[in-house]
């Protein structure tokens, strides 16, 4: 495993008010950096003061977008200890992203050790107010300064963190989602299963369109036929239809969410039939009209679970569960957050303390 050296900051930053933590705004005092070169592979792992990273204007990432990232959280338990949630899944997902983008894979054990060491260094930044956490953003990018599309000769792997507040200020709040029937997010053979910046750049136009129509998020359909539901901008999505749970299969176009996988475990343990199958948008809207669509919810690290109260596809609009959070949605939220914050027993061994 890589040794991590430490470079002390002269003056620590002032910490923001824990009761008012907007997402992604206040970075902590330190960041983790590791370099990769053809000659040395991954080397010089270090925790250094958080701040600008110098870059040439010809840095390949700025032109050809060889960039991948991850998102996970550290949670403070009631006894003050800090824990992570399934970080090795993020590490493996980043390896898959990097492999697709022809970027060197960062070893899983070094990823987990880097996250643990940085969070331990920044333990005073892990908030303790209810539903707050420390958001952790690992990312990897090409640093070679040269034009021309090719695999770069140098990369950096970096981790930054920021304390974040409760996603919903006052309990779960159902969102309105627009089904995008023109633009697409991913096609088979493309990069849909990776967490690369380019996927998100291409999705912003859909998000802007949705917001103009008064919708908060976009539900993407499959890129080839625009027939089947896939996922939301930064969440996977699940539908409870006639007592069964439907969600898009992981076949290369949808991001394999850590929250999605955890929810599927819980649901199957509770006796639900979970169908990881293609679901046509027209069948979904029909289920909405004939009363069979009982609950809809997005799943992702940021919000854990996001109830969906309204779906619009072209001119057709359905409301789900009278725009209220469903019983199963609430139970999934309570159970998963209970495990993440250490209030419920973790029988799946999903949590990892930052201190051994
Ligand atoms: C496109 C997309 N789908 C799904 C997810 C949910 O993944 P996870 O549960 O690992 O946060 C995310 C968030 O990372 C995402 O950006």
Q: Could you report the per-residue pLDDT of 275-322, keeping only the tens digit for each? A: 999 999 999 999 999 999 999 999 999 999 999 999 999 999 999 999
Three-state secondary structure call for residue 118: helix
The answer to whether residue 347 is domain-embedded is: no
Three-state secondary structure call for residue 213: coil
Do the beta carbons of residue 219 and residue 180 sit within 8 Å? yes
Model pTM?
A: 0.97
Look at residue 148 in the predicted model and tell me its pLDDT.
95
Do the beta carbons of residue 2 and residue 34 sit within 8 Å? yes
The pLDDT of residue 173 is above 90: no
| Domains of the chain: total | 2
Nearest CA to ligand 1 atom 16: 234
Look at residue 168 in the predicted model and tell me its pLDDT.
72
Do the beta carbons of residue 260 and residue 236 sit within 8 Å? yes
Average pLDDT rounded to a whole number, residues 204-225? 96
For 182-206, how does the pLDDT look when each residue is reduced to its tens digit (9 = 90+)?
999 999 999 999 999 999 999 999 9
Do the beta carbons of residue 307 and residue 326 sit within 8 Å? yes
Within this chain, do residues 129 and 263 fall inside the same structural domain, yes or no? no
Average pLDDT rounded to a whole number, residues 21-38? 96
Look at residue 316 in the predicted model and tell me its pLDDT.
98
Alpha-carbon distance of 45 to 36, in angstroms, equals 10
Within this chain, do residues 187 and 253 fall inside the same structural domain, yes or no? yes
Ligand 1 atom closest to the Cα of residue 261 is 9
In terms of residue numbers, what domain contains 127? 4-164
For 146-166, how does the pLDDT look when each residue is reduced to its tens digit (9 = 90+)?
999 999 999 999 999 999 998
The pLDDT of residue 56 is above 70: yes
The answer to whether residue 121 is domain-embedded is: yes
Residue 328 has, within 13 A of its CA and on its CB side, a CA count of 25
Within this chain, do residues 180 and 159 fall inside the same structural domain, yes or no? no
Distance between Cα 300 and ligand 1 center (Å): 5
Average pLDDT rounded to a whole number, residues 236-250? 98
Look at residue 277 in the predicted model and tell me its pLDDT.
98
Distance between Cα 255 and ligand 1 center (Å): 6
259 ligand 1 Cβ < 6 A: yes
Within this chain, do residues 148 and 58 fall inside the same structural domain, yes or no? yes
Nearest to 180 by CA among 236, 213, 234, 221: 221
Ligand 1 atom closest to the Cα of residue 233 is 1
CATH label of the domain that carries residue 318: 3.20.10.10
The answer to whether residue 133 is domain-embedded is: yes
Mutate to test the pocket of ligand 1, among 234, 256, 297, 333 (most ligand atoms within 8 A of CB): 234
The pLDDT of residue 167 is above 90: no
Within this chain, do residues 101 and 135 fall inside the same structural domain, yes or no? yes
Within this chain, do residues 141 and 187 fall inside the same structural domain, yes or no? no
Within this chain, do residues 8 and 60 fall inside the same structural domain, yes or no? yes
Report residue 188 as tokens: 């088979």
Alpha-carbon distance of 28 to 187, in angstroms, equals 37
For the chain, what is the mean pLDDT?
Answer: 96
Look at residue 170 in the predicted model and tell me its pLDDT.
64
């Amino acid at each position: 495993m890589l040794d991590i050296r430490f470079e002390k900051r002269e003056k620590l930053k002032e910490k923001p008010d824990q009761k008012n933590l907007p997402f992604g705004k206040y970075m902590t005092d330190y960041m983790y950096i590791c370099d990769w070169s053809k000659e040395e592979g991954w080397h010089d792992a270090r925790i250094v003061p958080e701040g600008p990273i110098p870059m040439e204007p010809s840095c390949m990432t700025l032109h050809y977008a060889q960039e991948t990232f991850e998102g996970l959280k550290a949670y403070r338990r009631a006894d003050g200890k800090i824990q992570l949630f399934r970080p090795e899944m993020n590490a493996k997902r980043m390896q898959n992203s990097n492999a697709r983008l022809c970027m060197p894979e960062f070893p899983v054990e070094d990823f987990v050790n880097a996250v643990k060491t940085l969070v331990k260094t920044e333990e005073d930044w892990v908030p303790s107010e209810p539903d707050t956490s420390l958001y952790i953003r690992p990312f990897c990018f090409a640093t070679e300064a040269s034009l021309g599309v090719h695999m770069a000769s140098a990369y950096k792997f970096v981790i930054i963190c920021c304390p974040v507040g409760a996603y919903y200020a006052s309990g779960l709040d159902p969102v309105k989602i627009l089904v995008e029937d023109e633009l697409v997010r991913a096609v088979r053979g493309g990069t849909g299963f990776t967490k690369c910046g380019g996927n998100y750049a291409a999705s912003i136009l859909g998000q802007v369109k949705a917001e103009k129509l008064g919708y908060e998020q976009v539900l993407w359909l499959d890129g080839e036929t625009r027939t089947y539901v896939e996922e939301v901008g930064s969440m996977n999505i699940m539908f409870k239809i006639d007592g069964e749970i439907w969600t898009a299969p992981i076949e290369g176009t949808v991001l394999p969410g850590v929250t999605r996988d955890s929810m599927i475990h819980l649901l199957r343990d509770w006796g639900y039939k979970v169908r990881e199958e293609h679901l046509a948008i027209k069948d979904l809207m029909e289920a909405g009209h004939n009363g069979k669509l009982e609950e809809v919810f997005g799943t992702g690290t940021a919000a854990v679970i996001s109830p969906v109260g309204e779906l619009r596809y072209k001119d057709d609009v359905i409301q789900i569960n009278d725009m209220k959070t469903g019983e199963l949605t609430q139970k999934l939220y309570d159970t998963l957050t209970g495990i993440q914050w250490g209030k419920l027993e973790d029988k799946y061994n999903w949590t990892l303390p930052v201190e051994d």
